[in-house]
Amino acid sequence: MYSLREIAEMEEDRQARGVAEIGTASQPIAGGWMTFGGIGSWANQACGLGMRGPVTSEELERLVDFYVSRGVEPRIEVCPFADASLIEGLARRGFRLLEFENVLARRLPPGEDLRARHPHGWPAELQLIQVDPDDEPLVRTFVEVSTRGFRPAGEPLSEVLTEMSIRMVRHPRCDSFLARYDGQDVGGGAMESGEQVAGLFGTSVDVAYRRRGIQTALMLLRLERARQRGCGLAVIHSKPGIPTERNALRLGFFLAYTKVLLGLPAVAWFLPMLLLLLLASSRSPAGELEPERRPNVILVMADDLGWGDVGFNGNRRIRTPHLDQMAASSLKFTRFYAAAPVCSPTRGSALTGRHPYRYGVTFANAGYLKPREVTLAEILRAEGYATGMFGKWHLGSLTTQVRDANRGGPGSEAIYAPPRMHGFDECFCTESKVPTFDPLRVPRRFDHGGSRAQGWDALAEGDEWDSYGTRYWNQNGEEIGEPLRGDDSRIIMDRALPFIVRSVEAGKPFLAVIWFHAPHLPVVAGPEHRAHYASENVLHRNYFGCVTALDEQVGRLRRTLRELRVADNTLVWFASDNGPEGNARAPGSAGSFRGRKRSLYEGGVRVPALLEWPARIREPRATDVPAVTSDYLPTVLDVLGVPHPRPDVPLDGLSLLPLIEGQQFVRPAPIGFRSGNMQALSDNRYKLVLPGGNQPAELYDLLADPAESRDLAGERPEIVGQMRGWLAAWVRSCDASAGGADYAGQDEP
């Protein structure tokens, strides 16, 4: 098991030596190499400097002279583990940031069936040919085909690039593979092996042949070859967010480190301090606002918490003092909706701003968040934010190696979609539900009441237990196992708060997604929280207790933000993913609303919700303007003044910033819902419900009848007709999105 520093040391050395060995001129310097391959060559840059100690001013002067004397811009790749003297010296000389590059790594365990990792099955029409370096025609064919993706369409390959590429193919530690599909040469990729690590590079597939699994197959074949050469580790260098990175992450690669390419233009116009800031942020594009002026964002979500389960909505039985205090300084939404009446779809809406039927997560444990979906985490990470996800993910499997939770394990490659594939740098999460106390354990016997499905009193010392079957994972795809003891909401917050502290100390704004498991069944509360409800039966006392435990962690979060002096400039959103589980006898409360979880009546989708942001919300107030979890993304982007990177993709949410700022605000478009056979449409006053099957449409006036007790469809047919027309158009739009219309022209994930 290598540390990230060890991976960086091995890879920087391999890359520096490999490029130096094929360049036309190269010299060792400061523990690395500087290489020249000719005017216009991709090899014209230094690499590996500063990994073994300080870099002197004389060495940097020599580096500048090496390139300037050859008529090219001095360029250098800088690893985050390089000695600080390198960064300081480059800053003083006016080097500027050119681009970021992610270095992804993957271990190569013996015996792993790598080809079986292909999520769509090995393409039958595909032939991968290892290039014989002595076969001149094949070498030139490979060079021509494999470089098409790195130059404009129709542009011929320059003589310099041709010669550099041929030297690369003929390097003794290099293996190159030509992709031939249905008889056509359509792509290629290469790799270079060091003593312990292999670097995969140069992967390109013709545009007309993308979305056929060819790039993935090229990656897997090279992993096989790397293992044959005795390498225990493979790496890929990729620009952030491109298909290469997404494909690698799906195949088990993890983000090892991010480095930067710096250049020295003819006039060094970047101030040294700005360069240092860019390096520290590792992702901040030039020209953005300083981090301290950009608000932090926290999305807190409870699981199956009913509208009536909190004190600020009138519950007098369950103790939620911290949420009640938060409500007393927040914007409280009295008509806030989960985008769906079940878990997974709502979670995706919170990250994408889109209805779940657009991206294929139509129910719990159905579908997965596709790599081509643009998430809030991806957008904010590109803006220099630290991004972390903690708790219940439920948007795809988290492992393809071992049996896990509802869907994870061997055979789940097609739905493998961990948070790191969707913009999160750090995570501590599960695929799905866990017990809300001692989350990895379930009693072997239920001698004291309760059941595996619904919950139990927390295990006492000496009680026998079995593994529950759901695992926690980190951002590197590593399992976090025992001991994870005690309240699960505390365990989650124990990981979220250090991430927040580190971000603040580093001067970086942050996005923290904190999705609790409580109070989803099975509910388990520790003795301290259960004691408040000792007179209740086993299900009720544990449900109530785990809600109080969750509330306690919300208080801990708010206290930490105040202690860090960032509370004023942090948006803290709180909501539930859907209505409460069970029937009217169950402990969860939908208040006075009709329906519960899995229903599109109000009790299934209207949830408790708050937004605390002291910098903009100076006085507490309540609003009955309809809002939905899909509004998170467009609201945050509006706050930051950041455009969506795909303005052509339809969003279902809208910005609530005018409402937050206290302006008169009427929702300009209704909110559409779909789940199973039900459909619904809710505007500022009326709600249309299509129950499914042969049942007639229903219409309710939510302002006069929030309990949906009086159907007005027969009295107001004109409103029914108008709303049915709007709903039908919206359904067609969602179906078009689900059919791939929003991804036209994009590469296959």
Q: What is the pLDDT of residue 38?
A: 85
pLDDT, tens only, 407-450: 999 999 999 999 999 999 999 999 999 999 999 999 999 988 99
- Which single residue is written with the structure tokens 């509006």? 638
Section 339-353 average pLDDT: 98
Distance CA 695, CA 693 (A): 6
- CA angle, corner 584, sides to 580 and 588, nearest 5? 30
Pairing of strands 25-29, 32-36: antiparallel
pLDDT, tens only, 99-111: 889 999 999 999 9
Q: What is the pLDDT of residue 250?
A: 86
Q: What is the pLDDT of residue 28?
A: 94
For 38, phi and psi rounded to 5 degrees? 115, 160
Q: What percent of the chain has pLDDT over 90?
A: 78
Do 372 and 670 contact (CB within 8 A), yes or no? no
Q: What is the mean pLDDT of the chain?
A: 91
Write out the H or E segment, with its range, that includes residue 243: helix 243-250
Q: What percent of the chain has pLDDT over 70?
A: 95
For 178-194, the three-class secondary structure string (H helix, E strand, C coil) is EEEECCEEEEEEEEEEC
Distance CA 176, CA 225 (A): 10
First to last CA, the chain: 28
Q: What is the pLDDT of residue 153?
A: 65
pLDDT, tens only, 375-402: 999 999 999 999 999 999 999 999 999 9
Do 578 and 600 contact (CB within 8 A), yes or no? no
User: What does the radius of gyration of the chain's CA atoms come to, in whole angstroms?
Assistant: 28
For 647-668, the three-class secondary structure string (H helix, E strand, C coil) is CCCCCCCCCCHHHHCCCCCCCC
Return the structure tokens found at 263.
């250049």
Asked whether the CA dihedral 661, 345, 637, 255 is positive or negative, the reply is positive
Q: What is the pLDDT of residue 154?
A: 66
Position with higher pLDDT, 2 vs 426? 426
Q: What is the pLDDT of residue 24?
A: 86
Pairing of strands 570-576, 296-302: parallel
Residues 6+ apart with CB under 8 A from 516: 300, 301, 302, 303, 391, 392, 488, 489, 492, 550, 553
- Which single residue is written with the structure tokens 């709303």? 723
Q: What is the pLDDT of residue 630?
A: 98
Section 567-582 average pLDDT: 97
The CA–CA distances, whole Å, from 312 to 309, 321, 336, 517, 740 equal 9, 9, 14, 21, 42
Section 346-374 average pLDDT: 95
Q: What is the pLDDT of residue 289?
A: 39
Q: What is the pLDDT of residue 269?
A: 28
pLDDT, tens only, 530-546: 999 999 999 999 999 99
Among candidate residues 232, 173, 133, 188, the one with its CA nearest the CA of residue 19: 173
Q: Give the other-Cβ count within 10 Å of 648's Cβ.
A: 7
Q: What is the pLDDT of residue 286?
A: 32
Q: What is the pLDDT of residue 584?
A: 82
pLDDT confidence tier of residue 163, bands split at 50, 70 and 90: confident
Do 471 and 481 contact (CB within 8 A), yes or no? yes
Distance CA 204, CA 542 (A): 55
Q: Classify burial at 647, counting beta carbons within 10 Å of its beta carbon; exposed 0-12, middle 13-18, buried 19 or more.
A: exposed
3-class secondary-structure state, position 103: strand
In this structure, the dihedral spanned by the alpha carbons of residues 519, 523, 528 and 534, taken in order and rounded to 10 degrees, is 110
Residue 293 pLDDT > 90, yes or no?
no
pLDDT, tens only, 662-692: 998 999 999 999 999 999 999 999 999 999 9
Among candidate residues 412, 419, 382, the one with its CA nearest the CA of residue 397: 412
Residue count of the chain, please give it: 749
Do 576 and 338 contact (CB within 8 A), yes or no? yes
Do 22 and 37 contact (CB within 8 A), yes or no? yes
Return the structure tokens found at 678.
């039900």
pLDDT confidence tier of residue 521, bands split at 50, 70 and 90: very high
In this structure, the dihedral spanned by the alpha carbons of residues 18, 114, 216 and 388, taken in order and rounded to 10 degrees, is -90
Distance CA 205, CA 212 (A): 10
Ranking 232-246, 331-345, 600-614 by mean pLDDT, the lowest is 232-246
Residue 83 pLDDT > 50, yes or no?
yes
Residue 320 pLDDT > 90, yes or no?
yes
Distance CA 559, CA 544 (A): 23
Q: What is the pLDDT of residue 726?
A: 94
Do 408 and 398 contact (CB within 8 A), yes or no? yes
